[in-house]
Structure 1
Amino acid sequence: MNMAQYMSVSLRLPTRLLFEGRARRLTAVAPNGAFGILPNHVDFVTALVPSVLTLCLDDGAEAIFGIDEGLLVKKGHSVSVAVLRGVQGDDLDSLQHTVEARFVQMDEEERQARSALSRLEADMVRRFADLQRPAP
């Protein structure tokens, strides 16, 4: 068996790549509790809950991310994480403030997008109703 010292990790958002690099350890939180992954961990898939995801990078530094719900897939020496929302922080204190500010902003943007979509759907329904009316 190939005993790796690190694993390739990618952390993706719907619109961009938040992190890609090598890590010696990953910790995250699934619906049934916190867990850790080392490079030679067995392959698996799990859902993630809103929490803090930490990486011990191959240079010994630590990277921390505030994430929303998502999915983690470990296969071989690669870990792919896809989350709805996420931000990177320097430490837990600054991460909390960043998460609060960014997620509130994202919530407002999502609310505006949902409102615009609802208006478009209502307009389309009205136009179809107009097409079904008999011509005078």
Structure 2
Amino acid sequence: MKNQQMHLKIMVPERIITEVDADKIIAEAYNGFFCLKPKHIDFTAALKRGILYYYSNNDEQIIAIDKGILVKCGANVSVSVLNAIRGENLNEIEQQVQVEFSKAQDLEEASVQALKNLEAELVQHFVDLQKKESIL
């Protein structure tokens, strides 16, 4: 690692998305955008859903991130988010995000339907139990 770089690690719950040395990091917190450079003071921010940019040797990289947290401590910057998608450009990331959101929406709809079925079953069991009690 060069003296004038930060060590960036971006993680989602199940894996590390990227671990690189970066010259500059730009992200958005709930109170606005910010830029981190190697000599920036130690810093913590709650991140909004959006795009995180990092630069390594003048090469821009972009990652779509879900909500999370960023912690800069010395030369180490750790980013922990719910979901992240790497891409070569914003158009590619947009397409990938739409696919992922569609999958997430389908899963949510299936979960809601399963919950409704469980609730209906539970109500039916209570009705059956009440009928049995009234017979006795």
User: Which residue does the alignment assign to 1:104?
Assistant: 102
User: Which residue does the alignment assign to 2:19?
Assistant: 20
> 4+ residue stretches of structure 1 with deviation over 3 A?
109-116
Aligned partner of residue 33 in structure 2, secondary structure: strand
Alignment of structure 1 residues 6-85 onto 2, 5 Å: 6-57=5-56, 59-85=57-83
Judged with a 3 Å threshold, the aligned counterparts in structure 2 of structure 1 residues 109 and 37 are, in CA distance, closer, same or farther, namely same
Letter in 1 for 2:33: A
Deviations 1:10-32 (A, max 9, x none): 10011111111110000000001
Deviations 1:75-127 (A, max 9, x none): 000000011111011011111111111222134335545766x58x87xx89x
Fraction of identical pairs, as percent? 31
How far apart, in 1, do the equivalents of 2:15 and 2:111 lie?
18
Query: Which residue of the other structure, out of 80, 84, 87, is the alignment partner of 1:86?
Result: 84
Alignment of structure 1 residues 115-130 onto 2, 5 Å: 118=115
8 Å CA contact retained: 1:43, 1:75: yes
How far apart, in 2, do the equivalents of 1:108 and 1:72 lie?
29
How far apart, in 1, do the equivalents of 2:17 and 2:81 lie?
10
Q: TM-score, normalised by structure 1?
A: 0.77
Judged with a 3 Å threshold, the aligned counterparts in structure 2 of structure 1 residues 115 and 33 are, in CA distance, closer, same or farther, namely same
Aligned partner of residue 80 in structure 1, secondary structure: strand
Letter in 1 for 2:61: A
Judged with a 3 Å threshold, the aligned counterparts in structure 2 of structure 1 residues 56 and 101 are, in CA distance, closer, same or farther, namely same
Aligned length: 127
Gapped regions of structure 1 (runs ≥ 5): 131-136
